[in-house]
Amino acid sequence: MTIYIDTNCKCHVSNPDGIYTEIEAPEKFEGKAPAYIEGFRVKPEGYTFTRNDGKVFGPDGYSVSPWRDLALLEEFQAQYEAQLTAAAAAYAEGVNSI
Amino acid sequence: MSIRGSNFENQHPFASDHALVWERCMPDGLLYGVDMSFTSTLFTLGPGFMLVAGRMFEITAAESISISPGSGYARVYVAIDTGGAATETSFDQVSFGVDYAANLDSFTELTQGKININQGAAVYQAEVAVLEINSSGVTAIERQMELVSPGAGTGAFAAIAVTYPAGSTVTVTDGKITYTAPNTSGGALFIIPYAATWTVTATDGTDTASKAVEITTEGQSVSVELYYRLYFYKEGDQCVDVTGGWNSNVTVKKFGTVSMSKITPTFAETAMILDLTSAGTYDYVPVTTGLVDLTQVDTIYAEYDVPVAAYNARLLASSTTTFATVDGSEAATRAEFEINAGDDYTLMMDVSALTGEYYIVAFSFRGESIDAKGKIQINNIWGE
């Protein structure tokens, strides 16, 4: 799975202007909603990011960490899964009615 | 009647009333003139006007202050002593002094008494200049009091709102002016008079937390949160009050398709030791026994020594202690290094978006397929 990061290591699921850097997504993002993924930072080795409070995370090491409130991201994910379940049920109902 | 009029008809205004207004609105500084110069033994202030703690005074003729040779720095300060003589014919409330320090940050704190409150006697000192000195005397002016600019005159160029551990003393300083919070409630708002780098510091006498804030724009408002280090492991101390201790009750099921074997780390006198030098596929997963509240923690740090090169050191904050693979995908956040022998590493993990309680896992593993014959020593783990 491929994702993209901007210059502050924030994740994006698409790269319409071609300005982000393509990276391999961590296992953690498998099956996750775009809104969940885009609430995270992935910092590859050699990259840095600056948090909102000015704290700089230097180039050493790799990290995966949320920058949006994790509880909110988990709510996005729960709603995403509920929508998938509802869509699957509607599809199954449609198929069964044929 | 417990009200005293100041600038009211037939009421007597004190000089301190007037000064109090200026003190609240204007920083210490030069109003006009006061050119500064030096020789090897003298520091000279030219004629001009100064404003210090809201008190305005004129240097009517050049004032020279003797500076002794030495090694380091000399600080020239102005002292206002409202207990000194002030009559129609004599004035002895303003003087200049000098003290010395080896380093710029090792000067003793200046006295800044409340000279404009209650018309009482008090002393207020303010830095005029800091001079670099050597065995021959003065070599340079390191920094000096500046002209009070119109921008600074508003007294409200910017604001810094600080939250800090209740009971602490909080100060904000740019090295020239120091403001102290009026109480120790846990919250303070500082009105900043001009653009500069301001350092916000909280201390309770034992711990200290500090952050630098760049004030660049008029009207800027900055929020700063200060926390003391919250240790989760400290050189052999398992910080039981916070963590409940450390154990290895974590399950990591697979490395690739190979099942992991868990090994209990050695909790030595001053460090946790994760010895990855034996052959096999296994992991060390020291974890806090209890859930740790990370609501007030923005960053977790782990300090490593690496006696023998190892594959990696990994840190997780997780609401579970069971992981499907060494990737630790179930964790809320994760940070890791690949680490080389002989180096000291401090791993930083961003947990600012987490609220509530999590296990802290300091994780390292070895697989047969990777060269991981290392040894990792964890000295400290703490949050800020």
pLDDT at B151: 46
> Are the beta carbons of A66 and B332 separated by less than 8 Å?
yes
- State the average pLDDT over residues B217-230: 88
CA distance B167 to A5: 42
- State the average pLDDT over residues B148-159: 64
> Are the beta carbons of B334 and A65 separated by less than 8 Å?
yes
CA distance B338 to B327: 14
Burial call A64-83: b when 16+ CB within 10 Å, e when fewer:
bbbbbebeebeebbeebeee
- Mean pLDDT for chain B overall: 88
CA distance B15 to B34: 23
pLDDT at B101: 93
CA distance A35 to B32: 59
Maximum C-alpha span of chain B: 95
> Are the beta carbons of B329 and A27 separated by less than 8 Å?
yes
Predicted confidence (pLDDT) per residue in B77-136, tens digit: 999 999 999 998 889 999 999 999 998 878 988 998 889 887 778 899 999 999 999 999
Q: What is the DSSP letter of B313?
A: E
- State the average pLDDT over residues B167-172: 94
By CB atoms closer than 10 A (0-12, 13-18, 19+), residue A18 is: exposed
Predicted confidence (pLDDT) per residue in A4-47, tens digit: 999 999 999 999 899 999 999 999 999 999 999 999 999 999 99
Percent above pLDDT 70 for chain B: 95
pLDDT of B330 higher than 70: yes
Which chain A residues are Cβ-neighbours of B333 within 8 angstroms? 63-66
> Are the beta carbons of B332 and A61 separated by less than 8 Å?
no
Q: Looking at CA atoms only, how far is residue B204 from chain A in angstroms?
A: 23
> Are the beta carbons of A61 and B347 separated by less than 8 Å?
yes
> Are the beta carbons of B355 and A30 separated by less than 8 Å?
no
Helix (H) or strand (E) holding B329: none
Q: What is the DSSP string of B236-281?
A: TB--HHHHS-EE---EEEEETTEEPEEEPPEE-SS-EEEE--SSSS
The dihedral sign for the CA sequence B175, B179, B181, B187: negative
pLDDT at B153: 46
Q: Looking at CA atoms only, how far is residue A92 from chain B in angstroms?
A: 31
Q: Which residue has the tokens 């204007």?
A: B26
Predicted confidence (pLDDT) per residue in B23-69, tens digit: 877 888 999 999 999 999 999 999 999 999 999 999 999 999 999 99
pTM above 0.80, yes or no: no
**Strand partners for A62:** B336
Which chain A residues are Cβ-neighbours of B345 within 8 angstroms? 60
Q: Which residue has the tokens 């909080």?
A: B170
pLDDT at A9: 97
CA distance B66 to B64: 7
Helices (H), chain B: 15-25, 240-243
Of B327, B347, B353, the CB nearest to A67: B353
Which chain B residues are Cβ-neighbours of A75 within 8 angstroms? none
pLDDT of A75 higher than 50: yes
By CB atoms closer than 10 A (0-12, 13-18, 19+), residue B68 is: exposed
The residue that leads in pLDDT, A74 or B176, is A74
